[in-house]
Structure formats: structure tokens, C-alpha cells
Chain A
Amino acid sequence: MSSQSSDVSRQTSDSTGAYLNRYDVKASMDALANGSLKDVPVAIKDIIVVANDYPSTAASKILEPFKSPYDATVIKKLSEAGAVITGKTNLDEFAMGSSTENSALGKTVNPWDESRVPGGSSGGSAAAVASGDAPLALGTDTGGSVRQPAAFCGVVGFKPTYGRVSRYGLVAMASSLDQAGMFGRKVEDVATLLQAVAGPDQEHDATSVDQPIPDFRKALTGDVKGLKVGLPKEYFIDGIQSEVEKAVRTAADELKAAGAEVTEVSLPHTKYSIAIYYIIMPAESSSNLARYDGIRYGLSVPDATSLLDTYLETREQGFGDEVKRRIMLGTYVLSAGYYDAYYKKAEAVRSVIRQEFDEVFKNVDVLLTPTTPTTAFKIGEKTDDPLRMYLNDIFTVPANLAGLPAISVPAGFDKQGLPIGLQLMGKQWDEETVLRTAHAYESKHDWHAKSPGDSK
């Protein structure tokens, strides 16, 4: 794929609405095949700040006029690798959503079916890669925001281990869960992008970790002989789309045929993931969003008559409904008298979930699950029902709670021609095994080479 179209014309129209700001740049995909990003176009989710003439908005009105005075560390690293930034892609406001419908600044559709959502929150980045506009994109993944849209758009989406990539310059949603993630058409390309941005950032991110950085492309041996694959039974629940389940089970059989050992495992506390995620995430978000107060930058309502008015009016007009909902939830669970019952208990369950993964990973190398319960849903289908929307993240959230590396890889199409994604989760710092397994699976199929236009 990457070798076909050298010299991408940046004039092609952005038919899916992937971008909020598309830069006028020249780029070439030639180097990508050799594992280099020299002149290679990369789309950037607009929650990652870039110091240039364009705003860094997080798809929020409150940051609509905000121009960052500094580059995120991942942007700096991309520049050092010679990559070309194609623009800033759409997302759910402050990355809060699973469909990109919560963007206050633009609408993005699924490149495979324009009546459907691209997923979210990194829907713009996923759509940009799926539609062929950019071979690579950066997103952020707090509860599945890279993997879920990757599954919906039929591309590869990867979330590295928490601490592997610097968060400096990622507009924070939930600090203990946020991690930069990568989109590509192939696992190999994702590995190349990961290579460029991975590494500790002691100057700017105290949660980045100084771990040895392997050569990720070298890990893609195609060999899964002796690999121990676990199928966690809690990830095959009622309500899961049958074609999705079938795709994952078929993948298990294929891995087995290629020499892997597949066993069923159990992660009983997985069922609490969504519940505690919707305590921890809003708690941290409510705090991280306190800085948008109309005092120093971004939107500031001019006719406010007092300090309190400035705060209230700016935040009332600047934030969308979902953002407000999470600020209220978060403020509530951190309040005196409720903290112990909600936040503290959620953190305790989170520890149990972590330990459970540790236990399971004593016996298996990688876990195989669906990425999402269903393929892409219709635009507007879930906007009135936040709870149903939240359940979309049920399989992706655990990896964030435990800080584990996880990938979504294309696993075929359903009857309606919509892409299906499967998820592989690995041990902390073991991106190599995740990528190797994904790559071995991918190489047995040609789904990654299919483009939205082909199927129609």
C-alpha cells in the first residue's frame, strides 16, 4: 500500500471530514517501506498541540482560538524523524466520546459508509488513514479512542504501554489513562511510527518511563510458533455481534494453525471496568479541565460582569454537553463524603484488575479479544443514550486501566461491508509480542489492502 502512491497530492478533498485544519504541504510515502518517516505524511489528532499558525482546539469551542506556543514532544520527535504533518484531525471534544459526534467544530463520517460514525474519539485520524489521505496518523487512547475508531474504519490502531510515549503536549483528559496511539494501514507502518515517538521524556513527563526501546519492526518475524494466546471468556458476552465473535474465534484458529497455543483464560473483574472507568476518568477530567477558565487563553466571554460570571459564562458557552456531564460526574465523585465510596473504591478495583492481568500474563503472552462489540453504528444512533455509547468501550477500557499495550487489527467485514476489528493485548512494555502477533495475523489476509472505494 505504502509503496504504491508516492507524492501524495495534498489537493484531494477531505470527503469524510477527517480534518479540522488541513495543512497545505508536500509529502511522499516512499521512505515508509524502509521504516523511515522522511517526508512521510502524518495526520495529527487535534488534541496534540503543534506550535504553528493553526489553532490547537481539542474540537472544543473553549480552545477554538488557542494557538499553542509549544510543540508536543511527539510532534518534536516526528519533526526530527523528518515526517510531514498533514493537519489536525477531528475528534470528540476533549476526546470525550466514541463516535466523533461530540466534536464542537466539525463532522466526520465513516469512509466505509457515510451514514455511520468513524468511531471515536480519534475518529478524524482513523478516517484520514482509512480514506487514504494519510498513511499514518497519531491519536490518543484513554479508553479505546485509538483502537475503537481503528476497528470501525478498518485500519490498524495501537495503544502502547502507559509511559512508553510522552504525554507532554497531549491536551489531558484523564492523566492516568491517556496515552498517545498510532494509526496505519499496516502493522509495520504503525511500528515505524511508534519507533519515532517512543521513549522517555524526563524533561517534560514524569510518568514517562526510561525503558529500553527495542527495534519494533524487527519484532515482526511472522513467527507465532509456541506463542501462548489467551482468550478471556469475559470478552465474549451476550449482545456481541455474531460476525465479530466469529471473526475473533476464526483468528484464534488461524493462530493455532500457525503454531500458537490458544487457551481460554478468565479475567473476572473485567465486568467492573466500565463502572470504575466512568469514575476515574471523569474525576481526572474534571480536574484537568479546570484550567479553561477564560483568564489566560482560549475563549473568554467578554461581557461577564464579575469573576464568577467570567468562569460560569466561559465554561457554559465553551464546553459541550458531554464535557459538562463528565465534569459534573468527576466533581461529584471527588466531593467530600463521596470520595471514599467512589474514587477510592474505584482505585482499589483498578488495582485488582491490574493484578488479574499480571496473573493471567504468567500463563499467556498475549490476549485475543474483539475490539468492539459491534461494527460501526449509525450517526445519531446513540447520541441520546450516553450509557449505550459508553458500553462501546467495554473491551478497550481494561488495557487503559492496567496501562497495557493493545492493538486493533482489521479482521474482515460484516454482511454490510463494515470493517471488523480484533484486539490483542500484551504485557507491560511488551509491545513487541503484540505487534508480532498482529503482524503474523495480518500477513495471512489482504484486508488491510482494501480501501473504502473498492468495496462499493
Chain B
Amino acid sequence: MPDQKYEAVIGLEVHVQLATKSKMFCRCDNQSEDATPNQNTCPVCLGMPGTLPVPNQTAIEWAIKAAMALGCTIPGESKFDRKQYFYPDLPKGYQISQYDQPLGGPGTFEFDLITKDGKVEPKKVGITRLHLEEDAGKLTHPDGADYSLVDLNRAGTPLAEIVTEPDFRSPAEAKAFMQELRLLMRTIGVSDADMEKGHLRADANISIRKVGDKKLGTKTELKNLNSFKFVEKGLAAEYKRQIEVMEKGEKIDQETRGFDEAKGKTVSQRGKEEAHDYRYFPEPDIPPLAPKELGVNAKGLPELPVAQKRSWRKAGVHSEVITLVGQDPVEVKAFATALEGTTDASAAGRFWLLGRNNKALAKDEFKSLMRFTIEASQDTTELSGPQAKQLLAKFIESGKCVKELLADPAFQPMDNADLGSTVDQAIKDNPQPVADFQSGNENADQVIVGAVMKATKGSADPGTVSKLVREKLAKR
């Protein structure tokens, strides 16, 4: 996919919806998922005459936490500003946001990219800023109606806006950052960070340049990339489009574009000349803030996922396991606890992977899976795949401890002498496949391996069996 000639230069602007109990500037319930339209509103978030914003202390603290977790510098002074424009979903005619003194200043965030061949590549991303603002409401346009409907439940929900430097070199990197960001926000507990529910919303700036060039090309802005898939696909489509424009010798226009999934293309939405003058000025209703004096301490943050995943990798947990477990901080925590209970991290990863999709094991924050993983990874590293599956099934069925279950002879690893005679018997019983194999059909040995597995009721390790069958066939 990456072009030999052009590299992508991508920066992200991400809105993270903070899961505080109340809204940013009033006491309304911030959780409106099941609310009827305009249920969670009050004179303040409706922008009634005479109302004033009182900032939510928790939202400010959480934004500072998020800024710290992203490696931002925390400034001595910060303030809110008004960003002004008219729209029916914006009750006051301005959005309270932060312009030139955000809660989080420039910093660097480092995380690990996993390449397609499983290699781990550390990636540094410059974080330009993190600021806090209020969300607008939602406008719906009923089919065929000559009116629109406004729902202001979401108006006033706290948002942390994170702006990165143009440090991503491919759509896949941008997507990986979004996934890491989701885990980070969940881990520090400031957002549910569910992209499907709009807790995490991304806009991207993208330009291309010839590999080796230092100068940035003209960028376009891609709006509303509201799933991980869209982040990657939308950027890939725009990357491709820009290459085509350049190759034709044409110029790229600075504009806002949207991703049309059905067509797999980006489409122009508005040009730069229509850009707003937001007439920012300091919000006079809210005194300036002193973020460093609010008692938010980097030491108070939990272990951050990048560091945690690195320690797992070092302990021998397979990358695939880390990627899967690392989606959800609840699972991360449970898995980390399981790792503490065992000395074989690699085996723990294997057993965890085996049971993580089982609902019975995953309930109660993975309590049962934790137990199974700890018990199984102590003594059962010799188990074959099918044996391990069987063990898991028995564990779920009986609830007995693994040690007790292992007393069943089905879980005894067969010694190679026993296995040898079983293989001999299988070769004897299957003359045709043997003949096929010897006349060059490389896959014919699978029939014999299958027969051995059947004879051992799955207790043999398929790898060992396969090796043994080949050895014996070769000797004939």
C-alpha cells in the first residue's frame, strides 16, 4: 500500500468525551444515552438569559490527567475562551473552549506499533495541545419535513480536544494511535472512549510529499472519521487521491473533505475561503485557572498501557495476546493480575487467549479466567492444543481446580515410546495414504496424523505427532 514515491503526512484532531457525572458548566446529568430529547437540560445549558457557566472541577482535573498521560506540559496558567458562531445546536451562540492557553501544552507521546509481520516499532508522536471545551447539541432533519429538531442533551458535555503534530506516516499509524488513545483514556478512567458511540471523534489533516522531501505539501482536512476502520480507510483513500492529483501534475486544494464509504472515496465539503472568523476572546464569566495548583499529580495515574504492554512483552507474552487484551482496561487489569500469579507469562498468555471469549469466564471482570490462567499456567505447559481446550471445557463444567482435573489420564502427556507404537499402528492401518505420500503427495501424511490423534483421543501434541509420522515415513 505505501507508495514508493510519496509519503503521507498525517496529523490528528481528536475529541474525547469525558465521562463525568455532570456536564461541563452546569449540574445536568452528562449521561444521556437512554434519555428522551432535551431531558437532560437546564436554564444554563439551554443558554437562557442571565445564566452563567460554572466549570466542572472534575472535568478540569480529568483533562489535566489526560494531558499528563499524553506527555503534555502542564502550564502555570490556563483560561477559557469563547468561540463564536451561530447554529441551532449551539444555545449561547458561542462555544466555551480554550484558544491560546490550553490545559495541556506541547509534549511527546511514545507508543509501540506492531507491524504486519509482528515486529514492534516504537513511535513518537508530538502532541501539540490538549484543551477542554463543551460539546454542542444534536440537530436532526426528519425525512420530508420542512423543519429540523434540536436535542440539547449533549450540549455542555465536556470534551477534551487533542491535537497532534503531523507525525503519522501512514493511515495505519493513525489508526494505531487512535486505538492506543482509546486504551489510554479508558485506563486513566476519564472516558469510555467508544468510537461507535461518539465518545472518540477524529478529524485528520493529510498531505503528501516525495519521500525524502522536508517541505510539507498542501493539506486537506478529513472530517468525522468516526470509527477505527474509517480512520484507516478514509485516510488511505485521500492518500491515494492526492497521489493521483500530483501525478497528473495538478495542484491539491486546501479544503475540508469527507469520506464516502460506499464509493470508497473522499469528497469535497467546503473550501478554505469559507473559513469562519470565530472571534475568540477570553471568557469573562470564568476566572483564569492555575492547572498546576489543582492537585493533579502524574504519580496518581495508574500504570499507563504503553509501559504495561512493554513489560508483558519483555516477560514473554505473545504480541497477538497483548494486542487483543489491550483493548479494554478491565481486561488489562485482570490479565495483569493473572500474570502476577504465575511464573510462566507466555503460558499465561496462551491460556488467557483460549478462554477470553468465553462469557462464563469473562464475567465478573474475568474472575474465573484469572483463576484458570493462574492454575493452568503453573503445571500444564506440556498440554497439546486439543488437550488444553478439553481442560478448559472441564474447568467450566466442573469448576474444579486445574490440578484436580489434570489427574484424569486424558491429560497425561504421552511419552514418545507410547506415541511411536501408536504411529506405527496408524501407518499399518493406512496403506493407501502411505503409498500416496511416498509417490509424492506431500499432504497425504495428514491422514495418518489424524488417525494418531483419534487413537490418542486428542491427548497427543499434533506437532510432535506430525514430526514423528514424517520421520517414520521417511525411513520406509
- Which one, A114-122, A182-190, A199-207, A239-247, is touching chain B? A199-207
Question: In A290-317, which residues have CB < 8 Å from any B CB?
Answer: 290-291, 293, 295-297, 307, 311
Of all chain B residues, the one with the shortest Cβ separation from A94 is: B49
The reply on A334 being an interface residue by CB < 8 A is yes
A417 to B86, CA, bound (A): 50
Of all chain A residues, the one with the shortest Cβ separation from B281 is: A334
- B181-199 vs A, CB cutoff 8 Å, 1 = contact: the mask equals 0000000000000000000
Q: How far is the CB of B51 from chain A (nearest CB, A)?
A: 7
Question: In B270-295, which residues have CB < 8 Å from any A CB?
Answer: 277, 279-281, 284-287
Asked if residues B52 and A296 are in contact (CB atoms below 8 Å), the reply is no
A201 to B92, CA, bound (A): 21
A171-B49, A295-B150, A297-B48 known; A335+B279 contact, CB < 8 A:
yes
The reply on A49 being an interface residue by CB < 8 A is yes
Asked if residues B285 and A290 are in contact (CB atoms below 8 Å), the reply is no
The reply on B91 being an interface residue by CB < 8 A is yes
Q: How far is the CB of B296 from chain A (nearest CB, A)?
A: 19
A169 to B86, CA, bound (A): 23
A203-B54, A206-B54 known; A293+B49 contact, CB < 8 A:
no
Of B27, B92, B94, B281, the residue contacting A339 (CB under 8 A) is B281
Asked if residues B93 and A171 are in contact (CB atoms below 8 Å), the reply is no
Q: How far is the CB of B92 from chain A (nearest CB, A)?
A: 5
Asked if residues B55 and A206 are in contact (CB atoms below 8 Å), the reply is yes
- Which one, A61-69, A259-267, A366-374, A434-442, is touching chain B? A61-69
- A147-178 vs B, CB cutoff 8 Å, 1 = contact: the mask equals 00000000000000000000111111011100
The reply on A133 being an interface residue by CB < 8 A is no
A69-B48, A334-B279 known; A206+B93 contact, CB < 8 A:
no
Of all chain A residues, the one with the shortest Cβ separation from B152 is: A296
A284-B284, A287-B93, A287-B281 known; A202+B48 contact, CB < 8 A:
no
Residue total for B at the interface (Cβ-Cβ under 8 A): 29
Give chain B residues whose Cβ lies under 8 Å from the Cβ of A339.
279-281
The reply on B233 being an interface residue by CB < 8 A is no
The reply on B306 being an interface residue by CB < 8 A is no
Asked if residues A70 and B281 are in contact (CB atoms below 8 Å), the reply is no
Asked if residues B86 and A202 are in contact (CB atoms below 8 Å), the reply is no
Q: How far is the CB of A438 from chain B (nearest CB, A)?
A: 29
Q: How far is the CB of B132 from chain A (nearest CB, A)?
A: 14
Counting chain A residues whose Cβ lies within 8 A of the other chain, the interface size class is 35 or more
- B67-93 vs A, CB cutoff 8 Å, 1 = contact: the mask equals 000000000000000101010100111
Asked if residues B284 and A176 are in contact (CB atoms below 8 Å), the reply is yes
A335 to B280, CA, bound (A): 8
Give chain B residues whose Cβ lies under 8 Å from the Cβ of A284.
284
Of A68, A207, A307, A336, the residue contacting B49 (CB under 8 A) is A68
Asked if residues A311 and B52 are in contact (CB atoms below 8 Å), the reply is no
The reply on B47 being an interface residue by CB < 8 A is yes
The reply on B50 being an interface residue by CB < 8 A is yes
Give chain A residues whose Cβ lies under 8 Å from the Cβ of B94.
287, 290
Q: How far is the CB of A200 from chain B (nearest CB, A)?
A: 11
Asked if residues A68 and B86 are in contact (CB atoms below 8 Å), the reply is no
The reply on A283 being an interface residue by CB < 8 A is yes
A207 to B51, CA, bound (A): 12
Give chain B residues whose Cβ lies under 8 Å from the Cβ of A297.
48
A70-B43, A295-B150 known; A206+B49 contact, CB < 8 A:
no
Question: In A56-109, which residues have CB < 8 Å from any B CB?
Answer: 56, 58, 63, 66, 68-70, 72
Q: How far is the CB of B72 from chain A (nearest CB, A)?
A: 24
Among B27, B43, B50, find the residue whose CB has the most chain A CB atoms closer than 10 A. B50
Give chain B residues whose Cβ lies under 8 Å from the Cβ of A296.
46-47, 91, 150
The reply on B217 being an interface residue by CB < 8 A is no
Asked if residues B54 and A202 are in contact (CB atoms below 8 Å), the reply is yes
A205-B54, A307-B88 known; A58+B48 contact, CB < 8 A:
no
Asked if residues A283 and B281 are in contact (CB atoms below 8 Å), the reply is yes
Give chain A residues whose Cβ lies under 8 Å from the Cβ of B286.
206-207
Give chain B residues whose Cβ lies under 8 Å from the Cβ of A331.
279
Give chain B residues whose Cβ lies under 8 Å from the Cβ of A112.
none
Give chain A residues whose Cβ lies under 8 Å from the Cβ of B49.
49, 56, 58, 63, 66, 68, 171-172, 291
Asked if residues B92 and A291 are in contact (CB atoms below 8 Å), the reply is yes
The reply on B53 being an interface residue by CB < 8 A is yes
Among B48, B49, B84, B91, find the residue whose CB has the most chain A CB atoms closer than 10 A. B49
- B320-359 vs A, CB cutoff 8 Å, 1 = contact: the mask equals 0000000000000000000000000000000000000000
Asked if residues B50 and A72 are in contact (CB atoms below 8 Å), the reply is yes
Q: How far is the CB of B6 from chain A (nearest CB, A)?
A: 34
Of all chain B residues, the one with the shortest Cβ separation from A48 is: B50
Give chain B residues whose Cβ lies under 8 Å from the Cβ of A343.
281
Give chain A residues whose Cβ lies under 8 Å from the Cβ of B46.
296
Asked if residues A207 and B285 are in contact (CB atoms below 8 Å), the reply is yes
A68 to B44, CA, bound (A): 12
A64 to B287, CA, bound (A): 32
A168 to B43, CA, bound (A): 11
Asked if residues A70 and B48 are in contact (CB atoms below 8 Å), the reply is yes
Question: In B6-54, which residues have CB < 8 Å from any A CB?
Answer: 27, 43, 46-54
Asked if residues A175 and B86 are in contact (CB atoms below 8 Å), the reply is no
Q: How far is the CB of B337 from chain A (nearest CB, A)?
A: 41
A176 to B284, CA, bound (A): 5
Give chain B residues whose Cβ lies under 8 Å from the Cβ of A69.
43, 48
Question: In B84-112, which residues have CB < 8 Å from any A CB?
Answer: 84, 86, 88, 91-94
Of B53, B82, B92, B279, the residue contacting A206 (CB under 8 A) is B53
Question: In A246-301, which residues have CB < 8 Å from any B CB?
Answer: 283-284, 287, 289-291, 293, 295-297
Asked if residues B52 and A168 are in contact (CB atoms below 8 Å), the reply is yes
A290-B86, A295-B88, A296-B47 known; A336+B277 contact, CB < 8 A:
yes
Give chain A residues whose Cβ lies under 8 Å from the Cβ of B279.
287, 331, 334-336, 339
Give chain B residues whose Cβ lies under 8 Å from the Cβ of A63.
49
A63 to B48, CA, bound (A): 11
Give chain B residues whose Cβ lies under 8 Å from the Cβ of A170.
50
A335 to B84, CA, bound (A): 11
Give chain B residues whose Cβ lies under 8 Å from the Cβ of A290.
84, 86, 92-94
Q: How far is the CB of A152 from chain B (nearest CB, A)?
A: 26
Q: How far is the CB of B415 from chain A (nearest CB, A)?
A: 77
A290-B84, A296-B46, A335-B277 known; A206+B91 contact, CB < 8 A:
no
- B258-277 vs A, CB cutoff 8 Å, 1 = contact: the mask equals 00000000000000000001
Q: How far is the CB of B64 from chain A (nearest CB, A)?
A: 18
Of all chain A residues, the one with the shortest Cβ separation from B43 is: A70
A207 to B91, CA, bound (A): 21
Asked if residues B50 and A168 are in contact (CB atoms below 8 Å), the reply is yes
Asked if residues B284 and A175 are in contact (CB atoms below 8 Å), the reply is yes
- B125-163 vs A, CB cutoff 8 Å, 1 = contact: the mask equals 000000000000000000000000010000000000000
A283 to B81, CA, bound (A): 13
A342 to B53, CA, bound (A): 26
Give chain B residues whose Cβ lies under 8 Å from the Cβ of A168.
50-52
Of all chain A residues, the one with the shortest Cβ separation from B54 is: A206
Give chain A residues whose Cβ lies under 8 Å from the Cβ of B91.
291, 295-296
Q: How far is the CB of B291 from chain A (nearest CB, A)?
A: 16
A290-B84, A336-B277 known; A49+B93 contact, CB < 8 A:
no
A58 to B285, CA, bound (A): 20
Give chain A residues whose Cβ lies under 8 Å from the Cβ of B47.
291, 296
Q: List 19 extra interface pairs beyond A169-B50, A172-B285, CB under 8 A.
A: A48-B50, A56-B49, A58-B49, A68-B50, A70-B51, A168-B50, A204-B51, A206-B52, A206-B286, A290-B92, A291-B47, A291-B49, A291-B92, A295-B88, A296-B150, A307-B88, A334-B84, A336-B277, A336-B279
Q: Could you jot down 19 A-B contacts, CB within 8 Å?
A: A66-B49, A68-B43, A69-B43, A175-B284, A202-B54, A204-B52, A205-B54, A205-B285, A206-B55, A287-B84, A290-B84, A290-B86, A296-B47, A296-B91, A311-B86, A336-B279, A339-B280, A339-B281, A343-B281
Q: Which of B's residues lie within 8 Å of A, judged by CB?
A: 27, 43, 46-55, 82, 84, 86, 88, 91-94, 150, 277, 279-281, 284-287
